[in-house]
Structures are given as C-alpha cells and as structure tokens.
Amino acid sequence: MSAHPRTPGHAKHLMARMVGSLRARPLSPREEAEVAGLLDDRWAALFWEQPVMDQRHAIDAARFVLAARPGDRDLARAALLHDVGKRHAGLGVPGRVAATVLALLRLPAPGRLGVYLDHARRGADDLAGAGELIEAYARHQDGERPEAVPPAAWRLLKEADGEKHRVGDEPQYDVGDAERS
C-alpha cells in the first residue's frame, strides 16, 4: 500500500511532471556535454539508459542545483541520477500515471507498476559506490531525509525535483509488499 500524500500541492506537482514528460525533448549536444562533465563512464551509462523524459528531468534538476550551489558536483550528480531506478519498469507516461493513481488510492501495484513505485530502492542499489550522498538521496527521495543528506542539501534536491511542496519527511511512496525482483 502507498502512503502517497493527498495534497493540492502534490497533485499540482504530479500534473506538471506528466506534462513535462509528454513534452520532453532529447538533450542537446551542450547538455550531453554537461552530463559528460559530471559523470564518469559507469554512472553516465546508467544516466543514458533512462528514457528521454527522465534524462530531461535530471538535467533540469542538476542545473537547478548548480545554479544554487555552483561547483557542488556531488549534489549535481545526486540530481542527475536520483531516478535511474525508473528505467527498470520500462513504463511510458500512461503506465506511470496508472502506477501513481494506484499509489494515491493505496491499491496494490502489480508487475511493472510496482517496479516503478519501487524505483528509489532499485536506483540506489544501482548506484552503490557512487558516493554516500548520491546513493542516500536516490534511496530516500520519496521518504524521510537520511543522515547522509544534510538538511540544506535535502531541501535543494527536493526543490530541484519539483517537490518544493514536500521538503519535510513525509513519504511519497510506500511500496510495502510490492514485488521485488
């Protein structure tokens, strides 16, 4: 079951993310160079395995972080890589909407829908060795702030992720007994 918040701010965030996903365009050569400048080959490979909509969201989040904290490469990497676990589900926008609706209704999410809702854990597992802050933010992005992510960094990452409405410790998803493969 899900502990997805039911707030107007969160509903607005979800609608904005859906529209952004539908309108996402591939990264430009300049943006590709920005990614290459931040990630080594191992982490870049994970980044490029993401769908275009997640690449677009990630580069936008990383740019937001760097505008606020120029030179904070670890924080920018956390922004770039936080959603790499979503690629395991292989869902497009309609599937992601379906998974989110199930989470909002606190209903079980079978198969790939459950995999999508479990993206934080899966992504963090993929990022083992990327650095404590990067892995911790990926793992806990939808839950409570872990000790490895300082409060100011947490707030900035949440704002970069488009979740200014939810910078506290309330969880976004609780996949509970979701199938873990």
Whether residue 97 lies inside any domain: the answer is: yes
How confident is the model at residue 164, as a pLDDT? 60
- Note the Cα 85 to chain centre separation in Å: 8
How confident is the model at residue 162, as a pLDDT? 87
Whether residue 70 lies inside any domain: the answer is: yes
How confident is the model at residue 79, as a pLDDT? 98
Average pLDDT over residues 69-92: 98
Flag whether pLDDT at 181 surpasses 50.
no
Whether residue 95 lies inside any domain: the answer is: yes
Which range of residues forms the domain containing residue 19? 8-160
How confident is the model at residue 15, as a pLDDT? 84
77: nearest Cα among 152, 136, 117: 136
**Alpha-carbon span 117 to 174, nearest angstrom:** 8
Residues contacting residue 170 through CB under 8 Å, at least 6 positions apart: 3, 5
How confident is the model at residue 4, as a pLDDT? 52
How confident is the model at residue 6, as a pLDDT? 62
Whether residue 27 lies inside any domain: the answer is: yes
How confident is the model at residue 177, as a pLDDT? 41
Q: What number of H helices and E strands is found in the chain?
A: 10, 0
How confident is the model at residue 152, as a pLDDT? 98
C-alpha count within 13 angstroms, C-beta hemisphere, residue 67: 9
Whether residue 20 lies inside any domain: the answer is: yes
Geometric angle at alpha carbon 167, from 161 and 172, rounded to 5°: 75
Percentage of residues in the chain having pLDDT higher than 70? 85
- Using the structure block, give the residue that is written with the tokens 């979740």: 163
Flag whether pLDDT at 168 surpasses 60.
no
User: Per-residue confidence at 179, pLDDT binned at 50, 70, 90?
Assistant: very low
Domain count, the chain: 1
How confident is the model at residue 13, as a pLDDT? 74
Whether residue 146 lies inside any domain: the answer is: yes
- Using the structure block, give the residue that is written with the tokens 């993206």: 119
Flag whether pLDDT at 90 surpasses 90.
yes
How confident is the model at residue 5, as a pLDDT? 59
Whether residue 61 lies inside any domain: the answer is: yes
